[in-house]
Amino acid sequence: MQRHHLPVLSRLAPFEAAARHESFTLAAAELGLTQTAVTKQVAALEEDLGTRLFERRNRAVFLTEEGRAFGRVVGAALADIAAEAARLRGARQPGGLVLHCQLCEAFYWLMPRLSRFHERHPGIEVRVVSALAPLTEAPEPFDVAIQTTGRASGSARLSFTASDAVFPVAAPGLVPTDSLPLAPGDLAQYRLLSHRVLPQDWMDWPDWFAALGLPVPRGLDPVGYDSFPLVLQAAVAGQGVALGWERTVAGLIEEGKLVRLCDEAVPRPTEISVFRGTRRGGHAETDALLAWLRAELGAG
């Protein structure tokens, strides 16, 4: 190994944390440093490498393609070092795979079918970690992650994407059966439920109408919730109409807890992203989980 090709090693941990969070502020909080210190370390690393690793825009930072690729390499290397150090110290590493998944998909889509993976691979343990926050705020390293495309993913490596479709749903009886299917324009007469997040990296009602080429109904004012599971539970309880992602609400529709209200749906060809993480583990086991998810999601 030619050591003169290595960057200053003390700069790698601040960069890796900043790349994972896509935030200098969160990286500083994690490492117990000031934001200024992280900023200086990353700037010095960029100068050494002769390339920009982050774009700075409006007091926020975003990984460049070079930064994302370098972040994956550095993240994997630091994860290997941490795992080997733990082994030498005698710490027991938790077995199995860590599958990070958005809470709603974990509860409504993943858990009802995970037994099929265990039947096919009885020797592989999978620990599901659910979350409302994007991958950049993941509390621990993961082997595989599932989240909505477009949400912040930091330096996580995209493995594949899968499609979904979005259409309105409500509890049976909220809309008279003889009025179904509703025209999209008729939805405004009902109480609409919305998942509000900042940034709004989730399709909301104005986006849904726009995607169908329809004007947003005048005076549209959905009731906002801070998580999609709450939106679905409010819909099941008969409190209004929610946008339903087909993969997530299919089980609720089969159980008779929700009904589809419109024939119209917005197709989302790359709505779901599946990532390979940097946690040190068996590559064959991770490959098996990714292959199973690809088959379950019908991804090519």
Asked if 161 and 32 sit in the same domain, the reply is: no
Asked if 282 and 161 sit in the same domain, the reply is: yes
Q: At 54, which CATH number? A: 1.10.10.10
pLDDT, position 283: 81
70 by Cβ neighbours in 10 Å (0-12 / 13-18 / 19+) ranks as buried
pLDDT digits (tens, 9 = 90+) for 65-106: 999 889 888 888 887 787 677 667 655 555 689 999 998 899
Asked if 66 and 108 sit in the same domain, the reply is: no
pTM: 0.76
Asked if 77 and 118 sit in the same domain, the reply is: no
47: amino acid identity, one letter? E
Q: What percent of the chain has pLDDT over 90?
A: 56
pLDDT, position 32: 83
**Which of 89, 107, 132 is at the close of a domain?**
89
75 versus 248: which is more confidently predicted? Answer: 248
pLDDT digits (tens, 9 = 90+) for 120-173: 999 899 999 998 888 888 888 899 999 999 888 888 889 999 999 999 999 999
State how many domains the chain has.
2
* Distances from the Cα of 250 to the Cα of 61, 165, 168, 259, 275, angstroms: 37, 11, 12, 10, 24
Domain interval for residue 223: 95-300
Q: At 185, which CATH number? A: 3.40.190.290
pLDDT, position 40: 93
Asked if 70 and 217 sit in the same domain, the reply is: no
The secondary structure of residue 177, as a DSSP letter, is G
Average pLDDT, integer, range 51-64: 88
**d(C-alpha 91, C-alpha 139), whole Å:** 19
**Which of 40, 74, 89 is at the close of a domain?**
89
